């Protein structure tokens, strides 16, 4: 593997997410078929694949926005079952960034960030605001703290959304196509934030077609098609020597 890759030394072998023989159906439709995946602490994984392949559904199962019907998902030692307490516990450990940001439009940027710490972590308001300002500085948007989401550009909103997740001090961050709803000129500012997050050793699962990002930060790239993980490899191998026919086809379509 490439030794220059940032933060790579942080990878240890302790699995933080284990998915075993996981299946999911939407009604009759088999969305995820026998998915097996182990993610180590500090590992960064990029998941790509054609639309409808189940990649978003996969990461949404990890924090129980979607329910799986068969198999096991264990996050940070806690198995995901119907137990609401466990689900809420896991959700505080797992941050999620959405394609459409999903900021709370009726709250200011600062309130968006302090909401989780105050209500879920029971952090005192003053302290929560300090945490929030720290992460807003980090995503370089502190001066907008008093504004409402509707007054920010898409790129700024997505950076706020990342900061909102970070305020909960998660162990894992899930990114569901974080740049695909953005205007092209705003993609970089969001990716830069994600790269600096990677450099600090955050465990990240990213559903994305940003191949540059995958090459520079990912330890592994997964290729999914029709509900299955077809191929799994280091970025170099994945992009230069794809094994599977469908992977080759997919890569030729997005890289042309």
Smaller CB separation from other proteins, 146 or 244: 146
Q: Taking CB under 8 A as the criterion, which residues in 24-53 touch other proteins?
A: none
Q: Taking CB under 8 A as the criterion, which residues in 206-245 touch other proteins?
A: none
Report if residue 65 touches other proteins, rule: CB under 8 A. Answer: yes
Smaller CB separation from other proteins, 165 or 247: 165
Q: Taking CB under 8 A as the criterion, which residues in 78-97 touch other proteins?
A: 84, 88-89, 91-92, 94-96
Edge to edge, what strands does the sheet with 203-207 contain? 94-97, 172-176, 203-207, 44-48, 220-225, 228-233
Query: Can you say how many angstroms the Cα of residue 230 is from the centroid of all Cα atoms in its chain?
Result: 20
CA gyration radius, the chain? 18
Q: Which of 67, 104, 236, 248 binds other proteins (CB under 8 A)?
A: 104
**Helical segments of 147-218, H only:** 154-166, 184-199, 211-217
Q: Quick one: residue 66, left, alpha or beta (phi over 0 = left, psi -120 to 50 = alpha)? A: beta
Sign of the C-alpha dihedral computed for residues 81, 84, 90 and 94 taken in this order: positive
Sketch the per residue contact string, 110 through 129, with other proteins: x for CB under 8 A, - otherwise.
-----xx--xx---------
Which residues sit at the interface with other proteins, rule CB under 8 A? 63, 65, 84, 88-89, 91-92, 94-96, 98, 100, 102-106, 115-116, 119-120, 148-151, 164-165, 168
């Amino acid at each position: 593997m490439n030794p220059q890759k940032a933060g790579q030394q942080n990878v240890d072998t302790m699995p933080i997410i284990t998915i075993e023989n996981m299946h999911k159906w939407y009604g009759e439709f088999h969305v995820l078929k026998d998915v097996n995946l182990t993610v180590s602490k500090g590992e960064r994984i990029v998941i790509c694949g054609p639309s409808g392949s189940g990649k978003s559904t996969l990461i949404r199962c990890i924090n129980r926005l979607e329910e799986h019907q068969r198999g096991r998902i264990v996050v940070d030692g806690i198995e995901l079952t119907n137990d609401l307490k466990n689900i809420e516990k896991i959700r505080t450990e797992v941050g999620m960034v959405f394609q459409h940001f999903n900021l709370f439009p009726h709250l200011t940027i600062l309130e968006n960030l302090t909401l989780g710490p105050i209500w879920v972590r029971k952090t005192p308001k003053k302290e929560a605001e300090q945490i929030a300002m720290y992460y807003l500085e980090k995503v370089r948007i502190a001066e907008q703290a008093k504004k409402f989401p509707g007054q920010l550009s898409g790129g700024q909103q997505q950076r706020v959304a990342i900061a909102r997740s970070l305020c909960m001090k998660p162990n894992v961050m899930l990114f569901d196509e974080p740049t695909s709803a953005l205007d092209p000129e705003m993609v970089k500012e969001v990716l830069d934030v994600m790269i600096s997050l990677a450099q600090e050793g955050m465990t990240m699962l990213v559903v994305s077609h940003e191949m540059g990002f995958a090459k520079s930060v990912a330890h592994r790239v997964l290729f999914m098609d029709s509900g299955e993980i077809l191929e799994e490899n280091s970025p170099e191998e994945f992009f230069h020597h794809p094994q599977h026919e469908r992977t080759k086809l997919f890569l030729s379509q997005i890289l042309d």
